[in-house]
Structures are given as C-alpha cells and as structure tokens.
Amino acid sequence: MAQLFVSRDTEKQAGTSQFTLTKWIETAPFEDLLDFTIEHAAEGEAVLSVPFRVMHANGGGMMHGGVLVSLADTAVAMAIKSLLPEGTRFATTHLEMAFHAPAHAGLVRARARVSGPVGRSFDGCADLYDEDDVSLAHFQCVFRVARGQGFVDAEEGPPTQEV
C-alpha cells in the first residue's frame, strides 16, 4: 500500500513527492482506492484480486468495466515489475478487453502473464475470473519501457551517453 504524505483528495502537483511506495511491487494510490490486492507477482506472472464492493457497481448493479480493466492492467504491470530492475519507468501504450460475463458479487481475480521484452516492449495478457472461476474477460496489452533505461528498439540503435 502506498504511503501518502497528503490527503488522498489533494490535487496532484507535478514535480512533488506526495506519496511513496515502500516496495517495488506494491499497490499505488489508485489501486488502493479501488481496494486491489496483489496475491502473487514473480517471474513474469501476477495474480491480483478485488472484492466487489458497492462502490465498484455500475448503474445496472454489475461491477463497472473500468474496475475490471484497471485490475487487468495493474496485474500485467505487476507481472512486468517482477522482471524489471527496481525503479524502471514503463507505461501501457495499447490495451483491449473482451468481456465474457458480468461480475455480480464476490471476489474477482486477474491472472496475468507477460512476454518480452522485445526492444522496449512487453506484451501482456490477463484473464479475469469470479470466485466461482467463471471467465469474466480477457485483456491484452502492450507496455513500453521509457527511453534511457538500457532497453532499445532495433530502429533506435544502441543507447547513447546523455550529456
């Protein structure tokens, strides 16, 4: 869980340290807000879960798709973190989700795995299940490592010394 230095409702200020993560593989403020739990993250795989709380419901009483996409995206991010050196900066650059069934109650789990890197890119996917192991959705994505961290695409050439 992230350690906040300000109220969680404080507007984020660029260039300031308003929170910290005490471990490399840990939930950030957004994931804490949604009540995500990291159950496992190692060797390019991760399992995250979220209990379906009323705050996660859409107008029809099902878990909001944004919660499911966020859970899947975060699960893949944790799988990637399990492969990268601590402090490496990376981000989602493409994602898509195919929904199979709605979540009505209980615990939802995302089981993620990644491949790569190829250059600066990791391909990831996650499958989401309810507590009865019913398939809820399949998620696919691409994450990219920020430039200047030792990962290069073939067309970028070798890393250069920054002055």
Longest dimension (CA), the chain: 56
Say which range, 16-20, 81-85, 113-117, 125-129, has the weakest mean pLDDT: 16-20
At 79, phi and psi to the nearest 5?
-65, -40
HSE value, Cβ hemisphere, 13 Å, CA-based, for 129: 9
Contact, 124 vs 80, CB < 8 A? Answer: yes
pLDDT band at 163 (very low <50, low <70, confident <90, very high): very low
Say which range, 1-5, 34-38, 54-58, 157-161, has the weakest mean pLDDT: 157-161
Q: Is the pLDDT of residue 109 over 60?
A: yes
The CATH fold assigned to 21-153 is Thiol Ester Dehydrase; Chain A (3.10.129)
SS3 sequence of the chain: CCEECCCCCCCCCCCCCCEECCCCCCCCHHHHHHCCEEEEEECCEEEEEEECCHHHECCCCCECHHHHHHHHHHHHHHHHHCCCCCCCCEEEEEEEEEECCCCCCCEEEEEEEEEEEECCEEEEEEEEEECCCCEEEEEEEEEEECCCCCCCCHHHCCCCCCC
pLDDT band at 89 (very low <50, low <70, confident <90, very high): very high
Contact, 126 vs 112, CB < 8 A? Answer: yes
Where are the domains positioned within the chain? Answer: 21-153
Contact, 147 vs 132, CB < 8 A? Answer: no
pTM score above 0.85: yes
